[in-house]
Chains A and B, each alone.
Chain A
Amino acid sequence: SAVISQKPSRDICQRGTSLTIQCQVDSQVTMMFWYRQQPGQSLTLIATANQGSEATYESGFVIDKFPISRPNLTFSTLTVSNMSPEDSSIYLCSVQGSGTEAFFGQGTRLTVV
């Protein structure tokens, strides 16, 4: 299994500011995924991040709002830009294991005030 570390685990941010969330994996992975879990809701895929190419965003998510970096095979960042209270969510990083498993980080709980 893959061990995924996310930082920060939680943060309270002022509206209009930006927060960058880091995701570190203990092994090299081709694809990394960023999900959002709004309060009381399920997980929604934001984007897929491949090393060496631009991230692929799902419908409803744009690069200007959620820029993603993927500098190497073990690390990725997601930035939540120009935050508003509607961005208050848990943001989760995920990777595909060597088989068919998908593993998740512990999440970043973001509150925008």
Chain B
Amino acid sequence: GEDVEQSLFLSVREGDSSVINCTYTDSSSTYLYWYKQEPGAGLQLLTYIFSNMDMKQDQRLTVLLNKKDKHLSLRIADTQTGDSAIYFCAEKGDSGAGSYQLTFGKGTKLSVIP
């Protein structure tokens, strides 16, 4: 089956930039997503990118996509303590009409040091 890989942990100092990386295997991926999960909470959709784009910026968040290498990254500028959470990368393949299944990575736990 398709696979999504992420590093499990990342630690950064407050004010620095965080870069969370993700690789995936599905060459037919149409959309790639980043979700944030705070302790005890559900998943919050942060941003997503269409597979024919290579960059998307939304305030402090920058998503970079290298489709050739199947590599996705999420950069958080000026990281704050409130950004401490688990970040999930997910991809949606192109398996035909009505296919909405997302494949998730295991999540990267971001710890922000004050």
Contacts and interface: CB of A to CB of B under 8 A. Distances in A.
Interface of A: 1, 4, 6, 31, 33, 40-43, 45, 48, 92, 96, 100-107, 109
17 contacts: A1-B45, A4-B42, A31-B98, A33-B101, A40-B106, A41-B106, A42-B4, A42-B88, A42-B104, A48-B100, A92-B42, A102-B45, A102-B102, A104-B42, A104-B43, A106-B41, A106-B42
Contacts of A1: 45
A41 B6 CA distance: 12
A94 B104 CA distance: 13
Contacts of B88: 42-43
A33 B105 CA distance: 18
A92 B100 contact: no
Q: Determine chain B's interface SS by DSSP, over half rule.
A: strand
Interface residues of B, number: 24
A101 B42 contact: no
A71 B42 CA distance: 24
Nearest to A92: B42
A51 B57 CA distance: 36
Contacts of A105: 42
B93 to A, nearest CB: 12
A42 B42 contact: no
Nearest to B1: A59
B114 to A, nearest CB: 25
Closest 7 CB pairs of A and B: A106-B42, A104-B43, A107-B42, A42-B104, A42-B106, A43-B104, A104-B42
Contacts of B98: 31
